[in-house]
Amino acid sequence: MNQSSFFIVILITLFSLVLASLFVGNIPWQSLWAQTDVFLFALTHLRLPRTLLAVLAGAGLGITGAALQGFLRNPLADPGLIGVSSGASLSAVLALSLGFSLTTIPFLGIIGALLTTLFLHQAISKNKDTLRLILVGLALNSFLSALTALTLNFSKNPYKSLEIMFWLLGSFSDQPLDKVLWAILPVIVGFYIIYRDRHALDTLSFGEDFSHNMGHAINIVQKKLIIGIALIIGPIVSLGGIVGFVGLIAPHILRQILKTKPSDLLIPSALSGAVLCLLADIGVRFLSIGSEIKIGVVTSFLGAPFFLYLLLKKGKTKHDPYS
Amino acid sequence: MIHIHNLSLTIDQKNVLTDYTGSFMPGHFIGLTGPNGTGKTTFLRTLAGLHASTTGTILFNHKDIKKLHPKSLAQLCAYVPAEPVCHWPLTVTQILSIVSNNKEEIECLSKKMKIETLRNQNFQTLSSGEKARVLLVQALLRKTPILILDELTSHLDESHTYEMMSYLKSLAIEGRTIFLSLHDIEEGYLHCDTLLHLCEYTLKPLKKKAPTLKEVRP
């Protein structure tokens, strides 16, 4: 599929899903005439922030996944897998249990994500093997999750712990509109930082020497990427919790469909990430029996087998591992 | 114009080259030979500004390459590694589009290097010889005055090597400075202006011997 027809298809899909997300739910759209105020309240206070957050989170996870995979030249990279999301959630959980005000949470999320990525940056500064980074990231991910669990363990208020645990499972509902609107700003800055260096990702296809020789100082590109990822993942995690595997799957599917360079995968991955998150979020509204299934559960439920499939397939084809 | 002054190289604390001084004029085609493992690649990477463990200076047009901005250095020299690996399944067209958007030029150079039929093929599946030609086109599209080619001809058969070497020679005549590491010393004598031999931490010019069979052949 060529780029332009892909963009037409994905934009139409995204637009229809946004509309569906706004009009599908417990309060059906037919009530627009019967109970106008109730419906409008649900629209602006519940569904609009929810839809916005789903788009924002999906797009952010998609672009950071595509950028990380391009940078590390490894299709198994994803901000969730290498611990960035866990870093953001740990600092948010710490802040919540220490009683920080809710407005500071997104910023603390950015700091948590930043600290995690800086640690990863330091860990691979001597040995730039990209597989090593992924393994270090996996270990870091487990450790940060353990710290989060420990924080919850020591929490004095059981109701609060439960609330935090549910939030950690990932959900786009119940966030006020103004908070979601605030989160857009750092995410857009992060997008800009990552998108500006897209050309370096292409040159990295031939390794760091080639990229250097083409005029990209890799250390600087890496630092910018770290900041960009933290600016995107921090606010998304602090609002939506951990929604795994979207950043892994979106670029991978697009690589098969578009067959293109890493730079041309960034925006399509963002759009597809948004589509995946919206689909999952609309899906959980139908699946709900009693309490709503958390979106992070759905994406991990579908994403983990997909990851396994990738690993098994990679082992089979030795010479052409990414196609 | 390239000046190298008192250049010493080490890699993993092993000596490669000590105190080399030399200059190369534009239009010079320099062949670099030497046994395996003596550090030809390290020397070429140093010239391209990619190897850090060095003392001494390398000047491109009187500017120290260590002090040049990466972007400015990128406009001066193009480096082609010995065993290129492309990490993604990209086509030849996509690989060329990384360095240039000028379709006419890509077309023209692709024809010249006979890679126009490979356009939609996955780079990873090409033969070593085809890869070498694609990467040379990629380097040429950057229009740099200096080309640093690590074993570009090593995987080519005899006739393709001859063709490639004469083409590189013609590029040098147009005014480029070309460094090429190679193992076929006769091929080097035939086409290069200077043949440098790297051995025991020194770079020495190899003197021309009596004409070889290849040179006599029409």
Look at residue B144 and give its three-state secondary structure: coil
Q: How many CB atoms are located within 10 Å of the residue A169 CB?
A: 16
CA–CA dist B31, B169 (Å, integer) = 11
Q: How many CA atoms lie within 13 A of B190 on its CB side?
A: 20
Q: Where are the beta strands (DSSP E) in A141-300?
A: none
Residue B49 touches chain A, beta carbons under 8 Å: yes
The DSSP line for A231-272 is HHHHHHHHHH----SHHHHHHHHHHHHH---GGGGHHHHHHH
Mean pLDDT, residues A204-226: 91
Q: Which residues of chain B have pLDDT under 50?
A: none
Of all residues in chain B, the one with the smallest CA distance to A203 is B98
> Residue B30: which H helix or E strand, with range?
strand B29-33
A217 contacts on B by Cβ (under 8 Å):
70
Residue B78 touches chain A, beta carbons under 8 Å: yes
B50 contacts on A by Cβ (under 8 Å):
209, 212-213
Over the stretch A85-122, which tens digit does the pLDDT of each residue have? 999 999 988 888 887 777 778 888 889 999 998 888 88
Over the stretch B142-183, which tens digit does the pLDDT of each residue have? 999 999 999 999 888 888 899 899 999 999 999 999 999 998
In B89-118, the residues whose Cβ lies within 8 Å of chain A are 89-91, 94-95, 97-99
The confidence band for A323, taking pLDDT boundaries of 50, 70 and 90, is very low
pLDDT for res A164: 82
Residue A319 touches chain B, beta carbons under 8 Å: yes
B71 contacts on A by Cβ (under 8 Å):
215
Which domains does chain B possess? 2-83+145-211 (3.40.50.300)
B78, B85, B94 ranked by CB distance to A207: nearest? B85
The confidence band for A322, taking pLDDT boundaries of 50, 70 and 90, is very low
CATH homologous superfamily, domain A3-76+169-316: ABC transporter involved in vitamin B12 uptake, BtuC (1.10.3470.10)
pLDDT for res A274: 96
Average pLDDT, chain A: 86
C-alpha distances in angstroms, B199 versus B35, B38, B43, B204?
7, 6, 12, 8
pLDDT for res B217: 53
pLDDT for res B210: 53
pLDDT for res B30: 94
pLDDT for res A290: 67
Residues A66 and A197: beta-carbon distance below 8 Å: no
Q: Where are the beta strands (DSSP E) in B77-201?
A: 77-80, 146-150, 177-181, 194-199
pLDDT for res B97: 94
What's the token pair of residue B141?
A: 């599209």
B50, B90, B122 ranked by CB distance to A205: nearest? B90
pLDDT for res A309: 84
Of all residues in chain B, the one with the smallest CA distance to A214 is B74
B97 contacts on A by Cβ (under 8 Å):
261
CA–CA dist A84, A64 (Å, integer) = 11
CA–CA dist A11, B117 (Å, integer) = 35
Look at residue B52 and give its three-state secondary structure: coil
A128 contacts on B by Cβ (under 8 Å):
none
pLDDT for res A319: 43
In chain A, where are the structural domains located?
3-76+169-316
Work out whether strand B63-64 and strand B54-60 pair parallel, antiparallel, or are unpaired.
antiparallel
A206, A209, A215 ranked by CB distance to B73: nearest? A215
B78, B85, B124 ranked by CB distance to A213: nearest? B78
CA–CA dist A218, A208 (Å, integer) = 7
pLDDT for res A318: 45
How far off is chain A from B47, nearest CA to CA, in Å?
A: 11
Over the stretch A29-78, which tens digit does the pLDDT of each residue have? 666 667 777 778 878 888 899 999 999 999 999 999 999 999 988 888 88
* CB-based contact B88 A322, cutoff 8 Å: yes
pLDDT for res B122: 93
Over the stretch A270-315, which tens digit does the pLDDT of each residue have? 999 999 999 999 988 887 666 778 888 888 888 888 878 877 876 5
Residue B67 touches chain A, beta carbons under 8 Å: no
Model ipTM over 0.85: yes
Residue B73 touches chain A, beta carbons under 8 Å: yes
